[in-house]
Amino acid sequence: MSGRHYTEDELLAYLDCSEEIDLETVSRHLSACDTCGRTIESLRDFTRILADENVHAFAARRHRRPRVRDVENVMRRIVAGEQARVEAHRTFDNLMALPTADWPAYLVTHPGAQSEALLDRIIEEARRELDRRPERALKLLDIATAIANTFTDAFMLAEHRGTIAKERSNALRMLGRYPQALEALDWAERFYAHLPAPDYDLTFVTWARATVLFYMTRYAEALALARAAATTFRAFGDFGRAEQVRILEANVLCEQGLVRDARGMYAALAGYFGSHGDRELVARLHANIAECDVRLDRPARARRSAAQAIALYGELGQPVEFVRVRYDIETSAQKFFDADLALNFGKRLFLGV
């Protein structure tokens, strides 16, 4: 079992004491692996729910046969929703042919186009622009806000305005406007608080706030919030996002000087996301491992990890990431060594000498 983490099915088999799995081997692995340990604790809660007789009694209750009228109403809503999505994509294509500054005027002259489906499409486009053009993302989010404000359903308004505020915070963070990013997250919390069950949505706000605080070098606050967000995601059964938040936790530890601990977390996370087929995230994690090895003055290990990251980015058709990996590692070398040593260190990493 060394070299990978157990799957949820394998851990459930362990909890069931199934003969299909070597219980002693799993037990030894759990005593040494924090990732699998956290997963199995969440699965224990799940199995306790399954063992609750009241849950099974509720599931076995008699169901009323749906009325034809009810089925027809549901089908009409499904068809209407699909038509709205098609129309929203058509409207969005029309908008993309115009300068962003002309979008508000277009929507004023086409009030019927201001639908929830169009709003979702604009928010999606804003997310795509966060890395490349955060200023444009902010303009798109302003347009999304105007559309959301036309909604009369209070819960729909709260959900979309909360999401817009959260994405606005991400764009402001990309621009280095950290106090404004935190203020946007305050607004996101206020909007989400109006939802009937806001805890899951608020966890994304906690994660975003931890990220902003990390960039502000407020590491202790960022670490506490990141760990809280990961715990909540696990409680909701969203193990993938819980592990994504742990990348931020490892980043904090690295900047706090706990480089060995951070490297261990990156390696475990690379195994987790590798088992789930997320090669882009694995590439990023290998780049982080390489930077840790730079800080630990381990050029051979850093070279291997950087090569893994670069190879994965090549397979993914992202050659620009090679430049980013090299820049990040050379910047780290210059930060932690004197200029001459950093130059020679970089040569050893990338030339293999």
SS3 320: helix
Instruction: Give the span between the Cα atoms of 252 and 219, in whole angstroms.
Output: 6
| pLDDT of 60 | 60
Segment (H or E) for 352:
none
Q: Output the six-digit token pair for 132.
A: 């490349």
Using the structure block, give the residue that is written with the tokens 């960022």: 222
pLDDT tens digits along 22-60: 888 888 888 888 888 888 887 877 676 666 666 556 556
For the residues of 54-119, what is the DSSP string, one character each? HHHHHHTS--PPPPHHHHHHHHHHHHHHHHHHHHHHHHHHHHHTS-GGGHHHHHHH-GGG--HHHH
Q: Output the six-digit token pair for 40.
A: 């199995």
CA diameter of the chain: 79
- 257-353: which CATH topology? 1.25.40
Torsion sign, CA atoms 63, 69, 72, 76: negative
Q: Output the six-digit token pair for 190.
A: 């206020």
CA atoms within 13 A on the CB side of 156: 12
Closest CA to 309 of 294, 296, 326: 326
Report the 3 state secondary structure along 184-250.
HHHHHHHHHCCCCCCHHHHHHHHHHHHHHHHHCCCHHHHHHHHHHHHHHHHHCCCHHHHHHHHHHHH
Do the beta carbons of residue 214 and residue 248 sit within 8 Å?
Answer: yes
Give this prediction's pTM.
Answer: 0.72
pLDDT tens, position by position, for the chain (353 residues)?
A: 556 788 888 888 888 887 778 888 888 888 888 888 888 887 877 676 666 666 556 556 666 666 767 666 667 666 666 777 788 888 889 999 999 999 999 988 988 888 888 999 999 999 999 888 999 999 999 999 999 998 888 999 999 999 999 999 999 999 999 999 999 999 999 999 999 889 999 999 999 999 999 999 999 999 999 999 999 999 999 999 999 999 999 999 999 999 999 999 999 999 999 999 999 999 999 999 998 998 898 888 888 888 888 888 888 887 777 677 766 776 776 666 554 545 454 544 444 43
| pLDDT of 242 | 95
User: 3-24 burial, b for 16+ CB within 10 Å, e for fewer?
Assistant: eebbebebbbbbeeeeeebeee
| pLDDT of 269 | 95
In the structure, how many helices (H) and strands (E) does the chain have? Answer: 18, 0
Domain ranges within the chain, ordered by starting residue: 1-52, 257-353
DSSP 338: -
| pLDDT of 86 | 83
Left (φ > 0), alpha (ψ -120 to 50) or beta: where does 164 sit?
A: alpha
For the residues of 302-317, what is the DSSP string, one character each? HHHHHHHHHHHHHHTT
| pLDDT of 353 | 34
Instruction: Give the span between the Cα atoms of 237 and 242, in whole angstroms.
Output: 9
Using the structure block, give the residue that is written with the tokens 């969203």: 238
| pLDDT of 259 | 93
Instruction: Give the span between the Cα atoms of 163 and 123, in whole angstroms.
Output: 9
Burial of 50 from C-beta contacts in 10 A (0-12 / 13-18 / 19+): exposed
Do the beta carbons of residue 21 and residue 29 sit within 8 Å?
Answer: no
| pLDDT of 39 | 84
Instruction: Give the span between the Cα atoms of 10 and 22, in whole angstroms.
Output: 10
Left (φ > 0), alpha (ψ -120 to 50) or beta: where does 347 sit?
A: alpha
